[in-house]
Amino acid sequence: METDRYRINIMVKTAYVESQSEPDSNRYVFAYTITITNSGTVSAQLITRHWVITDANNRVQEVRGEGVVGEQPHLEPGMSFEYTSGAVLETPVGSMQGSYQLRAEDGTEFDASISPFTLATPHTLH
């Protein structure tokens, strides 16, 4: 099946960075660690990223750029790449979602979608 050739799994872990946050100034800093795994049968390189970050006031930030954390990782089948980055919100709760654009070794370009995930300070959501 063609879709098995281009299969990317994405896992997300988030953390509130209290030491960099200033709630009195509406500044909430979050770290997120992403693990990208090539579960397909062809190697692929991550070319660009697109993020949609939404805070509790429905303020939306869109981020587009090359690679992730300054890299464009090349993933052989079965390989993973992990990185940590961050986002700053004006509210204690928000969400992120997006996609990575990849190019397979055969030249095929495809997207790997990143399901929405929540950014929240501790004890905000129950």
Q: CATH number for the domain including 52? A: 2.60.40.1470
Does 33 reside within a domain? yes
For the four alpha carbons of 30, 33, 39 and 41, in that order, the dihedral sign comes to: positive
Paired tokens of 33: 């660690």
Q: State the Cα–Cα distance between residues 50 and 40, nearest whole angstrom.
A: 21
Contacts of 60 (CB under 8 A, 6+ apart): 52, 53, 54
Structural domain including 36 reads: 2-120
Does 125 reside within a domain? no
Q: What's the domain count of the chain?
A: 1
Q: Is the pLDDT of residue 126 over 60?
A: no
Q: Is 75 exposed, middle or buried (0-12, 13-18, 19+ CB in 10 A)?
A: buried
Write out pLDDT tens, residues 73-96.
Answer: 999 999 999 999 999 999 999 999
Coil, strand, or helix at residue 80?
Answer: strand
Paired tokens of 109: 């370009």
The confidence score (pLDDT) of residue 37 equals 98
Write out pLDDT tens, residues 5-58.
Answer: 999 999 999 999 999 999 999 999 999 999 999 999 999 999 999 999 999 999
Does 21 reside within a domain? yes
φ/ψ of 57, rounded to 5, equals: -90, 10
pTM of the model: 0.91
Paired tokens of 20: 């960099």
Does 22 reside within a domain? yes
Does 126 reside within a domain? no
Q: Is the pLDDT of residue 2 over 90?
A: no
